[in-house]
Amino acid sequence: MEYHDSEKAKEVATRVEAFMDEEVLPREREALRTGDLISFDELAEYWEMAKERDLFAPQVPEEYGGQGLDFRDMLPSFEQVGRSLFGALAIRANAPDEGNMHTLEIGGSERIKEEYLRPLVQGEKWSAFSMTEPMGGGGSDPKMLRTTAEKDGDEWVINGHKWWSSQAKIADFLLVMARTDPDAHPYEGTSIILVPKDTDGVEIVRNYPVLGGHGVMETEFGHAEVAYDNVRVPVDNTIGEEGGGFRLAQLRLGGGRLTHCMRYCGMAERALDVAKAYMTEREAFGSTLADKQALRHRIADAETKLHVARTASRHAARELDNSDARIEVAMAKTFTANVTNEIIDLAVQCCGGNGIAKDLPLAHFYEEVRPFRIFDGADEVHRRTIARDAFEDVKTEEVEHVLRFGEPHR
């Protein structure tokens, strides 16, 4: 299928695909078959291989050790890494670090970039984005944010409670969203502040159990509950402008939603590859599953929807060059999240017992993809945004002549 990606995008994605096929996927299959999981030391070896192939951190400017691809040019590569449970990690394009790199790049001071961005890119540091709060605090409605940061001289004093701070347990620092001006609207009075994890008052309370595990990695990255108790950091640890946290977060999340879309499109594509291979060999009731018309039609629908998801994501990425593309991104994210869930569920069903066993990656994919309808904005939040836009310009003349009670048509 031709998506009119640039020649650069196609060339890099072809090389990423080869890296996945030649190095990453064989190791993933071995890990699933034997239980021999991948360590940090082995992951570092994949980073070296990615560097040798000029594939390491494609989303990061060259001056910080990446490949410096434009946003639209890197999307096809993100789809390729999504085919593997550790593909994004293997080229250092994994969430949340990938989004945090972008946040530091556009909002960090030169000191922050040297002390945190450069080592983050190289895998010498790990990071977390600490925004979501437990019930009663900010979640789908971020205006409810309750974590605060008050100035005391040249320091911020942070108090609050977060969860879904992904990989905070292994992180070296956290990007914390906090209310810095309680009198302003939250969209104007919230800031992002970099907090080293070893700062006094930072408590990683726990990695709580969630749907899914840690795939084929030896280390559990997980999602953490974090408490902040009178945490003091310098005011110049503010990322971006004071009070500009939401604007910066939107820049992070808009692109991040689309990179997630492409990664999960890659996962859905591989799920279909597994299902079609299985269906071609598996026989039942006198023929292979691949010869059953009902299943063939469902596969055809899945391929069609996946094509539309890829197209919508690319269109939204193009619009991001000119605006915040809020509606386009919301549409692409919601549609892709639901389509990839449907496709992976179909692949599991087509493979029967092998679909829910973990010799194949499908059961892992199933666990990984379901949260996508909640992460980066729940379906309902994006649909609310889309519906608000849809009802902004209602053409009332279309029902001008509808018969109304008490107004006889004479």
Closest CA to 102 of 122, 117, 87, 82: 117
Position 194 confidence tier, pLDDT thresholds 50, 70, 90: very high
CATH of domain 7-94: 1.10.540.10
pLDDT digits (tens, 9 = 90+) for 227-251: 999 999 999 999 999 999 999 998 8
Q: Is the dihedral of CA 58, 102, 111, 115 positive or negative?
A: negative
What pLDDT does 253 receive? Answer: 87
Position 409 confidence tier, pLDDT thresholds 50, 70, 90: confident
What pLDDT does 227 receive? Answer: 98
- Architecture of the 246-390 domain: Up-down Bundle (1.20)
Q: CB–CB of 108/121 below 8 Å?
A: no
When computed from its CA atoms, the radius of gyration of the chain, rounded to whole angstroms, is: 23
Q: CB–CB of 100/108 below 8 Å?
A: no
Domain 126-242 has CATH 3.40.50.11540: no
What pLDDT does 98 receive? Answer: 96
pLDDT digits (tens, 9 = 90+) for 11-50: 999 999 999 999 999 999 999 999 999 999 999 999 999 9
Position 213 confidence tier, pLDDT thresholds 50, 70, 90: confident
pLDDT digits (tens, 9 = 90+) for 343-357: 999 999 999 999 999
Stretch 98-104: mean pLDDT: 96
Q: Does the pLDDT of residue 2 top 90, yes or no?
A: no
* Measured distance CA(129)–CA(92) in Å, rounded: 17
Stretch 139-153: mean pLDDT: 96
What is the chain's mean pLDDT, rounded?
96
Position 166 confidence tier, pLDDT thresholds 50, 70, 90: very high
Q: pTM of the entire structure?
A: 0.95
For the chain, the domains span 7-94, 126-242, 246-390
Percent share of the chain, pLDDT over 70: 100
pLDDT digits (tens, 9 = 90+) for 253-296: 888 999 999 999 999 999 999 999 999 999 999 999 999 999 99
What pLDDT does 330 receive? Answer: 97
Q: Does the pLDDT of residue 214 top 80, yes or no?
A: no
